[in-house]
Amino acid sequence: MSSAIPLSSACGVVSPRAPVKVVLSREQGEGRGARVRRSIGNAAFPNFDPFLMLDEFKVAVPAGFPDHPHRGQSTVTYVLPESDGAMEHEDSMGNHGLLAAGDLQFMKAARGILHAEVPENERVCHGLQLWVNLPAKHKMDEPEYQELRAEELKRASKDGVEAIIIAGEAFGVSSQIRTRETPVHYVHFKMSPSSELRQPIPPGWAAFCYTLKGSANFGSGELVEAHHTVALSNGEGEDGIVVRAGPENAEFVMIAGTPCNEPIVQHGPFVMNTREEIMKAFSDFQGGKNGFESVRGWRSEIQYRTR
């Protein structure tokens, strides 16, 4: 099931949140030869509890993200609908698949997994990857996958605004994706010129937007261009956002979630609550134990495309 946290009544945004920080995401290297724009997880936003990282990636063979482990978080990979290319994935648990334009994958890494994410071919795969922290009581759960094809994602539209609902709810329509451990709302909005969006956000949730195309006013009176992170206020009584598109089509994702309110100790792909737990994660991975049994002797086949 999707998050059970109720939203305000439709269009019932009475006290909008406001931008408190707007930062341009610049390109940087990642993986093997890949280039990404990092939104969350950079110097401006080391993390945004419960979110650890958001990357906008554009990648084609021979670049990619060869075999690498995870523990303590979930990853959400969304290939944008206009992407030319696709992303193939393979992991030590025996899962293997392809994410094409508009497809979605939630991977709960939890206690441990080793996987690779590599473009299918020389066509550029354009998408977003979000890392969501898991509360301490769920960090050692069993790994879990949820995948939806583009045609399975819920959609809704109103007053010149289209919503692709990755998780949570928009315009009264809810995603079927389960976000039980860390409830999340994640919506891709496409706005026609000068249109207005009124989107409720549950009280107390951390929320931000990442802009993809065009420009929009998130409440400050200023138009925010593409590739910016807009961190939103979280004051008492603030119940959503009001966004007005600029003079051209605008696109952005709105991401909100309930904070874990726990210490975050991160070293690369391992995210735990203490330094001792991080050291144990490395030991477990290297020894293939305590959740990493599946990595013993495993190497993906797809990683060799990046060489």
- Summarize pLDDT for 250-295 with one digit per residue, the tens: 999 999 999 999 999 999 999 999 999 999 999 999 999 999 999 9
CA 201 and chain centroid, separation: 17
CA 290 and chain centroid, separation: 27
pLDDT band at residue 11 under the 50/70/90 scheme: low
Q: What percent of the chain has pLDDT over 70?
A: 96
Q: Do the beta carbons of residue 89 and residue 147 sit within 8 Å?
A: no
d(CA 166, CA 7): 16
Question: For residue 167, is pLDDT > 50?
Answer: yes
Q: pLDDT digits over 122-165, tens only?
A: 999 999 999 999 999 999 999 999 999 999 999 999 999 999 99
Binding-site positions for Fe cation read 68, 70, 115, 117
Element (DSSP H or E) covering residue 279: helix 275-287
State residue 153's pLDDT score: 98
State residue 223's pLDDT score: 98
- All structural domains of the chain, each given as residue ranges with its CATH number in brackets, are 19-281 (2.60.120.10)
How confident is the model over 34-54, as a mean pLDDT?
95
| 3-class secondary structure, 142 | coil
What distances in angstroms separate CA 255 from CA 19, 158, 189, 246, 258, one per listed residue? 14, 19, 11, 21, 11
Binding-site positions read 68, 70, 115, 117
d(CA 83, CA 127): 7
Element (DSSP H or E) covering residue 250: strand 250-257
Question: For residue 7, is pLDDT > 60?
Answer: no
Question: For residue 101, is pLDDT > 90?
Answer: yes
Question: For residue 9, is pLDDT > 60?
Answer: no
| 3-class secondary structure, 209 | strand
